[in-house]
Structure 1
Amino acid sequence: MKFSKQLQKIMHHFGLSTTELADKILVPKATISHLISERNKPSLEFIMKLHTTFPTLNLEWLIYEKEPFLVTEIYPKSIEKDQNKIPVLNEISEVEMVNEIENEDQNESQPEEIEPKNINQNITENPKNILSFQSKEIDCIVIFYNDGSFKKYNP
């Protein structure tokens, strides 16, 4: 099968005209016309744009004409399962995260206020241990997991 036939199959499957396909993958309309008329062969960049825009297209089909046409025809059930596992970035906004942390804080006791130490006085009293003025107490520990969730611990 020539690439022109593959391109026409893609356009038919997704219900796109030449102009709509060109707009969707961000290429000039002439590029699509030249590929359909077999004046030009597709570049790797063009194949990558097609695959990025239509990830269900089988990349081996695009390059080597190896069936099946769509990836979902190879692994229909595993793709559905994997799509449920993919974390959606920015699903929870920063404001929602802060609100969730504040809600957790309301359920816990408020930490007592600690007076800041006079740093200069501490250094002059104990010059050998100059780092002692940096000792601080831990207020909370937040662990971020790779799935986008997090847990806050208060001592």
Structure 2
Amino acid sequence: MVNTDDFIKRLEILMEHLGMNASSFADKIGVQRSSISHLLSGRNKPSLDFVMKILDIFPDVNLYWILNGKGNLLKGEVDYEATLETKNEDDHTPILSSNSSEEKNIEKKIEVENLKSKVSEFQNLKKDSDIFKIVFFYKDGSFKDFNP
């Protein structure tokens, strides 16, 4: 059985990681904004349909993490359990380390810039054809597309 309070905390972590507020998250996964509001307030419990909508729109989200907090937030990514801290022993509300989210954003921007420069170099070498997509395959079976 999924612990609703813990699920809500993980949902908040996911929205923060994605840089989305409750309204934009609801719009993105195709549910009413009130559904997110009722879920975050504890009025409603998450349904299987709700969880599946999250996974359909964000396939890199780890099912086991969103349901029970086991493993990593994203498949093949940093273990968020390791970056969570508690405010004190009485309050078990998780908070992210102060700079982990910021560092990830900077790393992603650097990675994208590096990829763009490598694509540019490659395109200069292969002037007779245009590159329209690059696909990165990861050991865990996931992949990401890059369209230069």
Query: What is the TM-score when the length of structure 1 is the normalising length?
Result: 0.48
Partner of residue 5, structure 1: 9
Over the aligned positions, Cα root-mean-square deviation in angstroms equals 2.4
Matched, 1:43 2:47: yes
Name the amino acid aligned to 1:25.
I
| Structure 2 gaps, min length 5 | 79-136
1:6-155 alignment runs, 5 A limit: 6-73=10-77, 77-79=138-140, 83=143
Moved over 6 A (4+): none
Give the drift of 1:70.
1.1
CA contact (8 A) 1:34 1:40 kept: yes
CA contact (8 A) 2:10 2:66 kept: yes
* Larger fraction in strand: 2
CA distance in 1, matches of 2:20, 2:13: 10
Name the amino acid aligned to 1:10.
L
Encode CA deviations 1:76-122: one digit per residue, 9 max, x unaligned.
9415x7537x9xxxxxxxxxxxxxxxxxxxxxxxxxxxxxxxxxxxx
- Would the alpha carbon gap of residues 82 and 4 (structure 1) be closer, same or farther in structure 2, given more than 3 Å must change? closer
CA contact (8 A) 1:58 1:69 kept: yes
Larger Rg belongs to: 1
Partner of residue 113, structure 2: none
CA distance in 1, matches of 2:9, 2:142: 31
Name the amino acid aligned to 2:16.
H
| Structure 1 gaps, min length 5 | 87-155
Give the drift of 1:69.
1.3
SS at match of 1:11: helix
CA distance in 2, matches of 1:63, 1:25: 17
Name the amino acid aligned to 2:52.
M
The higher relative CO (CA closer than 8 Å, separation ≥ 6) is in 2
CA distance in 1, matches of 2:43, 2:74: 26
- Give percent identity, aligned residues only: 40
Query: What is the TM-score when the length of structure 2 is the normalising length?
Result: 0.50
